[in-house]
Amino acid sequence: MSPAGTLAPPALFLPGWGLGCGPLATVLEGSGWQLLDLPGIKRNPQGNLQGNPQENPPAHFDSAVEALCACLPPSCHLGGWSLGALLALAAAARAPERIISLTLVAATPSFVQRPAWPHGLSPAALQDFAARVAKAGAGALPRFIALFCQGDHEARAAARRLGQQASPPAQELLEAGLVWLGEADLREAVPHITCPVTLIHGETDPLMPLAAARWLQEQLPAARLQLLPGKAHAPFSPDPALFLEQLPRP
């Protein structure tokens, strides 16, 4: 609790790739968390999305982390889902003095498979998907949503709701975000992140395997893992009740 007359540090939450803030807006309403756009998204003073991203969206994951850190306050609680969780984790490694705690939903230290890291998508599969996005843009999202909802006990309802709520960014951001996912590898940084970390993970997540969450739990010095049975990659959809029970209140 903050001393009388002072403002509590904000709690900022980053969305995942491709769907924008829409799917999380209703879920986080009244929770104390504020949505923060991914680096490269531009909003006007009324809070509405501009037609285009910044002139030069961060081309690489490292520059996206730098852009994120540049807009963070001196201290905050930071959370994120999927790609947002990767960025939040990287920000905590880069600017530990500014991050009070982390809340990571469907998180992994590396989205793609690497030597000694089998818990991800193959680089070839990511390249194939990037080619589809380059050709179809946001038209590739429905199939992507359906795939990452597989295994959820409410898979069809979850996918339908996510599709209805999605607010995809411009093409430049869609493509840049896939580059970030291919580049990010935080395995060496993770053991040095000492702030409290809450990991919330669907037990049947087909995109960020449960093994990745267990690895984070073991490697982060101050982490606790909350597993949501019967939930996949979007454990807050279509009914966020179970998710909200595990979400820390800043």
- Kindly name the residue from 82, 101, 110, 237 that is annotated as catalytic: 82
As a whole number of angstroms, the distance between CA 110 and CA 136 comes to: 26
Active-site residue, from 119, 201, 233, 237 = 233
Burial class (CB in 10 A: 0-12, 13-18, 19+), 147: middle
Rounded to whole angstroms, what are the CA distances from 139 to 48, 132, 147, 167? Answer: 22, 9, 14, 12
Angle at 101 between CA 222 and CA 97, to 5 degrees: 100
Rounded to whole angstroms, how far apart are CA atoms 122 and 2? 45
Strands 76-81 and 99-105: parallel
DSSP 31: T
Q: Which of 119, 152, 205, 237 is catalytic?
A: 205
How far apart, in whole angstroms, are the C-alpha atoms of residue 199 and residue 155? 22
CB 147 within 8 A of CB 158: no
Note whether 86 and 178 are within 8 A (CB).
Answer: no
Q: Measure the CA–CA gap between 4 and 137, rounded to whole angstroms.
A: 49
Mark whether 82 is an active-site residue.
Answer: yes
Tokens of 87: 């960025």
Q: Just list the catalytic residues.
A: 82, 205, 233
